[in-house]
Amino acid sequence: MASQESHLTATLLTSILAAVLGSLQIGYHTGNVNAPAKIIEEFFNHTWRARHNQSMPDHSLTLLWSLSVSIKDFGALLGSLGVKYLADSYGRRNSILIVNCLSVVGACLMSASKSSKSFEVLILGRLVFGLFCGLVMSLNPLYIQEVPALFYKSASLKVQKFKVQQGSSCMCLLQVAGLDTVLGTEHYWAMMLSLSVIPALTQYLVLPFCPESPRYLLIDQGEESKAEAALLRLRGSSDKVFSELEEMKEEAAHTQSGVTIHQFFKKRRYKQPIIIVLIINLGSQLSGFNAIINYSTRMFQAKFDQAKYLTLGVGAVNVIFTLVAFFLMEKAGRRRLLLTGFISIAVCNLLMTIVDSVLHLVPELRSLQVLLVFCLISAYELGPGPISWFIAAELFDQPGRPIAMAFTSMLNWGGKFVLALLFPPLLKLCGEYIYLFFMAVALAAFSFTWIRLPETKGRTFDDIAEEFRGAEGIPLHNNIGFNTFT
């Protein structure tokens, strides 16, 4: 059965694209205050001056700007707490539709901040949008992993990589929009922040006509007839439906329906996957990438007159290497790309520390600094970036998957929040030596991945879950053939 091919029907393609619209919204608001940072900071200062008849102190402006950038990630951290309840209570598709309203409200608040002359409204809007991010970045992988042909991991993974790639492409688009020659101007920056309502409203028009996840309907709800109807719509051929239903029933026989949070963290078969997800996600988010995405314009401004165009280059490199990872993922495997990415990030951070330390003596090295930034981004997008988001969906069985994705979201957004909030003051305090911390995190993640991470390439959900069930109490790296490069 594993040799069968999954066919892309019109309903399946529509379902994929409708779900991807959520990721486009997140991609659009990832770093969208980066390029017009100075203009928005001046808006903060002008608002403060109008209220208090004096300019905002520099340290207060730095802290307020850090809060404005990081509050979205804090909102996402809070939002991730509701993933399990929504996914289990309303299903994958309906939950995405429910949380989509947060995106609309958040974008409207951000857009209204300028006309209301209130930076508090902008911060509130980013907080509300962050709630959407934390929910949809877990709900989307759940839906996307379960809607394609359920037992062909390559097909499922390509859908997930497509989602990540589209988010990166949209991030590059927003950086173009954020230029002061486009929408990142004093007059139009607020309108730029509202453009994400277009994919949000489009999702409301398309997603209601897509089927619910058949896996959720059968395994979680026990509704075989509805699952069969959803499969028939997705596959377009009844001869494929029967075999997939039988495979799902077999998996359901190995799992219990419903896992509480307490049970999730207590079950022995989940302990190894939980530790793997913890290390990979924290290693990914605290290795320096998010500091560059959020603050690259500020990092470059001290050394380049056209820093905003270098920031655009950051977005372009991000998209290019996401595409490279798209084609390499299934050939090279998750483990190899993670190892390559983490060690490359560590080397880049070490070299950035050295270059920044001697930059005042050799100003010509500033071009090398830009090259190292681009290399770090490419290393992140080759493995740690995309894989950290979906690896939990591959390592856990059906009952544990919603909590695992919520856990992943909390780790990702929590790491982003901490880094976005603390990077500006830490950069002032530690200078170039802040990159040594990023290097240490990347090396720790590399070491753990080398020792513990199994390869999931080409394996079904039930196959991986069975491996963990059979490996309870057994170190995975001693299980021959499971934790290898091949």
Q: Which CATH number is 333's domain given?
A: 1.20.1250.20
pLDDT, position 464: 67
pLDDT, position 383: 83
pLDDT, position 453: 80
Query: What is the residue-level pLDDT of the chain in tens, covering all 486 positions?
Result: 333 445 667 888 888 888 888 877 887 776 666 667 778 888 888 899 888 888 888 888 888 888 888 898 899 889 988 988 898 889 999 999 999 999 999 999 998 988 888 889 999 999 999 999 989 888 887 888 777 654 344 444 444 444 444 444 454 455 555 444 455 566 778 888 888 898 899 999 999 999 998 888 888 888 888 888 888 888 777 777 777 788 778 777 766 666 788 888 888 888 888 999 999 999 998 988 877 776 655 555 555 555 555 656 666 676 676 667 666 766 777 888 899 999 999 999 999 899 888 877 887 777 787 888 888 888 888 888 888 877 887 788 778 888 888 898 888 888 888 887 788 788 778 877 888 999 999 999 999 998 888 776 666 666 666 666 554 443 444 344 444 333
pLDDT, position 392: 82
Residue 447 inside a domain? The answer is: yes
Residue 274 inside a domain? The answer is: yes
Integer-rounded Cα Rg, in Å, for the chain is: 23
Residue 292 inside a domain? The answer is: yes
Count of structural domains within the chain: 1
Residue 180 inside a domain? The answer is: yes
Instruction: Note down the domain range covering 228.
Output: 10-478
Residue 5 inside a domain? The answer is: no
Residue 485 inside a domain? The answer is: no
Residue 3 inside a domain? The answer is: no
Residue 359 inside a domain? The answer is: yes
